[in-house]
Amino acid sequence: MNSNKSDFVKFEQVDKSYDGKELVVKGLDLDIAEGEFLTLLGPSGSGKTTTLMMLAGFETPTNGEIYFDGRPINNIPPHKRGIGMVFQNYALFPHLSVYENLAFPLKVRKVNKSEIEERINKTLKMVSLTGFENRMPAQLSGGQQQRVAVARALVFDPKLVLMDEPLGALDKNLRESMQYELKHIHESLGVTVVYVTHDQGEALTMSNRIAVFNDGKVQQLSGPNELYETPVNSFVASFIGENNTFTGTVKEIASGSAKIETDSGETIIANPIAVNSSGEKSRISLRPERVSIDPNEQLENKFTSEIREIIYHGDHTRVRVNLLGNDDFILKVPNASSDLKLNVGDKLDLGWSSHDCRALDY
């Protein structure tokens, strides 16, 4: 990623309200770097789509200013912004062929005929749809329509492309292959992409950075691995990936470790992320894959659990156990180690490092 400008797109103190009673987006500050693939991730109603629509120009911010390439764009109508957009249901023009769909943004820009043809050929090749020029959108499969929509958003060389849950309507396999394809297109063109999704797998696969939205605010803005490994609050921890939690009270706190007494009365050594003083309530987050079964190495936390349920998942087996009063503690056991004999009701020794076990806000 060759980022030229770190604030290619800039949201400054942006608020948005539809009904005058509730803020859908609250005091949003967000910088998007040039050439970046940034994903706005969050549950529905978190304000991510509204943020995208404000950037596209279909919604006006109630307060604050949005800058695009250094210019404030609040008062620029969508058709003058020069931002490409891929819509949730593709929004292909049903009465125009693939070629005419792609030619539309170019004709609007008065590009001459031969160049239109050249650009369309190039773009269709990029999305591997050469030969589909004369098809009507209704004659294409969902995946092909998706590619046309992407091609149409890119064909006029916009500096910024917005994508609003573009893969939502595709089946699982197609969605995964399209994720890689979009990632490759982004890498080869170097165009800035702002992508909205509620699918964390999609976000983790494609993005340079992810902004996790909840309740109209960005909860965490960081790279995919950081987001997964080091969530800064309990919302991010629970929203991204699978997560086991305990609640408890901080008893002792020092740099790098804290002793926390869980509600069931045991003490866990945890990594203090969002707790500062003893007596504070905390929610402890622990990824299932960071838990060792029958631990023999030196681990700060070692407990015994009881198996409640075993669910076969193909490549791995999920085991639900009761641990420290938590009946929904999940373990992921890779099926390669199938020599492990698991039965409901068995006792299982578990252990984990204090570093992987993060004490977050309550």
Partner 1 sequence: MTAEIRTSDGELLSVKLKKVERRRRTTAFLLAAPLLFFIVFAYVIPIFQMLGRSIDNAEMNSFLTETHEVMQTWDGGEMPGEDVTSTFYYELKTAVENKYHGKIATRLNYEKGGFTSLIKKTSRKLKDFDENANFLDQFIDVHKKWGDIEYWQALKRGTDAYHFRKYLTTFDYEQRFDGSIERIPEKLRINVTLWLRTIFVAVGVTFCCFILAYPISHLLSVLPTRYSNLLMICVLLPFWTSLLVRTSSWMVLLQKQGVLNDTLVSLGFVADESRLELMYNMTGTFIAMTQILLPFMVLPLYSVMKTISPSLMRAATSMGATPFHAFRKIYFPLTYAGISAGSILVFVLAIGYYITPALVGGAKGILISNRIAYHMQQSLDWSLATAMATVLLIAVLVVYWLYNKIVGIDNMRLG
What residue ranges bind partner 1 (CB under 8 A)?
56-58, 77-85, 87-89, 91, 93-95, 104-105, 108-109, 152-153, 156, 162
Residue 167 or 275: the one with the smaller Cβ distance to partner 1 is: 167
Residue 56 or 204: the one with the smaller Cβ distance to partner 1 is: 56
Residue 34 or 164: the one with the smaller Cβ distance to partner 1 is: 164
The Cβ of residue 81 has, within 10 Å, a number of other Cβ atoms equal to 18
Closest separation in Å from C-beta 86 to partner 1? 9
Closest separation in Å from C-beta 85 to partner 1? 4
Closest separation in Å from C-beta 195 to partner 1? 15
Cβ atoms of 268 and 357 within 8 Å: the answer is yes
Of 63, 66, 71, nearest in space to 27 by CA: 63
Name residue, tokens 């292959």. Answer: 177
Residue 115 or 242: the one with the smaller Cβ distance to partner 1 is: 115
Residue 94 or 345: the one with the smaller Cβ distance to partner 1 is: 94
Residue 23 or 162: the one with the smaller Cβ distance to partner 1 is: 162
Closest separation in Å from C-beta 82 to partner 1? 7
Residue 107 or 313: the one with the smaller Cβ distance to partner 1 is: 107
For the chain, what is the HEC assignment?
A: CCCCCCCCEEEEEEEEECCCCCEEEEEEEEEECCCCEEEEECCCCCCHHHHHHHHHCCCCCCEEEEEECCEECCCCCHHHCCEEEECCCCCCCCCCCHHHHHHHHHHHCCCCHHHHHHHHHHHHHHCCCCCCCCCCHHHCCHHHHHHHHHHHHHCCCCCEEEEECCCCCCCHHHHHHHHHHHHHHHHHHCCEEEEEECCHHHHHHHCCEEEEEECCEEEEEECHHHHHHCCCCHHHHHHCCCCEEEEEEEEEEECCEEEEEECCCCEEEEEECCCCCCCCEEEEEECHHHCEECCCCCCCEEEEEEEEEEEECCCEEEEEEEECCEEEEEEEEEHHHCCCCCCCCCEEEEEECHHHCEEECC
Residue 94 or 131: the one with the smaller Cβ distance to partner 1 is: 94
CA angle 305, 306, 309 (to 5 degrees): 125
40: tokens are: 């706005």
Residue 57 or 143: the one with the smaller Cβ distance to partner 1 is: 57
